[in-house]
Amino acid sequence: MKKYVILGGNGPFGVHTACYLLENAKPSKVICVGRNPEKPEPFTLGVGRGDPRYAYHQIHMVYEQDRLFELFDTEKPDVIINYAALAHASSWKKSWRFYDTNITALAKITEQLTHRDYLERWVQIGSSEVYGSVTSPVTEDAALRPTSPYSVSKAAADLHLVSLAHVLNFPMTILRPSNAYAPGQQLHRVIPRAVLCGLTGSKLPLHGGGRAKKSYIHARDLARAIHLVCESAPLGSIYNVGPKGPVTIRDIVALVADAMNVRFEELCQVTDDRMGEDSQYWIDSTAIQRDLDWRPEVPLTEGIQEMVDWGRTHIDALRTASTEYVLQA
């Protein structure tokens, strides 16, 4: 039985990964770490409630690494899963904060971990945005062409880990997922915000008419990929994790409208393009399918219906939650 620590465990995908591991991995313990107090029920979904194998710790990975390593050295995790990152494509303001968290803090933590013998694997959750805008599906050996401070920081983190693995045998695996979504996701993201707009009769700003294309993966499918990686992926490997093809943002919003029986024109209004937005993300996930027999199992229509059901269940709390992205240290 493995002991897992999830950095960024207060975010939606950390929460879903914790839920998945508790239900499917037979762990000795799952410990989530986040910079803020644990979020309320609509965003934590009751993860670990009443389960003695679950714990949550509020520790800031940039400014409280002494406390973080006190936790590591006490618990001696077999696996550390790193979701912790400032993650927003519009990263041109205070861009240095993205580097502080996504690469400098990562480098400090992983360097210290090279001196610990209890760690079996570091699972880095990267991003498909490191490949930049593409016209066909890209494999893991494609050139990295990041186009924003956020994606530059994620690419730098991956390269740092590759060098650590090559020179110091650091036990890492990198996953580069497509855009993940799931109940509990922050309301500045397009799917939960579209759901909220549909429930409250407000308008979703649709940047550039939703022409940009992205691939979407449900957080449960991503969590299952992480579990498979922890069990049997070769150390030092890199895997893309996503569906077969991308869809336009407009089509995503249209699926939300259909699930809510709302006319598309009533749900959104077209606004200007987002500065520097890539036109298409598209990854080839053949490698993880071949090596670990992973494939996405949650259809997009089913996943969006889950989001709508989640929104209806928690609408009273969601009405007062912020729909804007707030950059925190």
For residue 209, what pLDDT band results from cuts at 50, 70 and 90? Answer: confident
> Domain 186-214+245-281+298-318 belongs to what architecture?
Alpha-Beta Complex (3.90)
Confidence at residue 324, expressed as pLDDT on a 0 to 100 scale: 77
More confident residue, 157 or 211: 157
Token pair of 262, please?
């709302």
Cβ neighbours around 151 below 10 Å, total: 26
Say yes or no to pLDDT of 90 above 80: no
- Residue carrying the six token digits 């579990």: 227
- Global confidence as pTM: 0.95
Per-residue pLDDT tens over the stretch 245-277: 999 999 999 999 999 999 999 999 888 766 556
Per-residue pLDDT tens digits for 160-170: 999 999 999 99
Arithmetic mean of pLDDT, 206-231:
93
- Return d(Cα 106, Cα 183) in angstroms, integer: 28
**Better-scored residue on pLDDT, 68 or 211:** 68
In percent, how much of the chain has pLDDT > 90? Answer: 87
User: Quick one: pLDDT band at residue 323, thresholds 50, 70, 90?
Assistant: confident
62-78 confidence digits (pLDDT tens): 999 999 999 999 999 99
In this prediction, residues 220-235 reach a mean pLDDT of: 98
**Which residues in 233-250 are b (16+ Cβ under 10 Å) and which e?**
beebbbbbbbbeebbebb
Q: How much is the pLDDT for 279?
A: 78
Domain 3-180+216-241 in CATH 3.40.50.720: yes
Residues 6+ apart with CB under 8 A from 180: 12, 13, 216, 217, 218, 219, 222
Judge contact between 269 and 221, C-beta under 8 A.
no
Whether the predicted pLDDT of 7 surpasses 70? yes
Dist. CA 79–CA 7, nearest whole Å: 11
Q: Is 77 exposed, middle or buried (0-12, 13-18, 19+ CB in 10 A)?
A: buried
pLDDT band at 89; cut points 50, 70, 90:
low
- What does the pLDDT read at residue 212? 87
Residue 329 reports pLDDT greater than 90: no
> In three state form, how does the secondary structure of the chain look?
CCEEEEECCCCHHHHHHHHHHHHHCCCCEEEEEECCCCCCHHHHCCCCCCCCCEEEEECCCCCCHHHHHHHHHHHCCCEEEECCCCCCCCCCCCHHHHHHHHHHHHHHHHHHHCCCCCCCEEEEECCHHHHCCCCCCECCCCCCCCCCHHHHHHHHHHHHHHHHHHHHCCCEEEEEECEEECCCCCCCCHHHHHHHHHHHCCCEEEEHHHCCEECEEEHHHHHHHHHHHHHHCCCCCEEEECCCCCEEHHHHHHHHHHHHCCCHHHHEEEECCCCCCCCECCECCHHHHHHHCCCCCCCHHHHHHHHHHHHHHCHHHHCCCCCCCCCCC
Tens of pLDDT along 91-144? 778 899 999 999 999 999 999 999 999 999 999 999 999 999 999 999 999 999
Quote the mean pLDDT of the chain: 94
Residue 62 pLDDT: 95
Q: Residue range 194-211: average pLDDT?
A: 90
Report d(CA 125, CA 87) in Å as an integer.
Answer: 11
The residue ranges of every structural domain in the chain are 3-180+216-241, 186-214+245-281+298-318
Residue 323, phi then psi, degrees to nearest 5: -105, 10
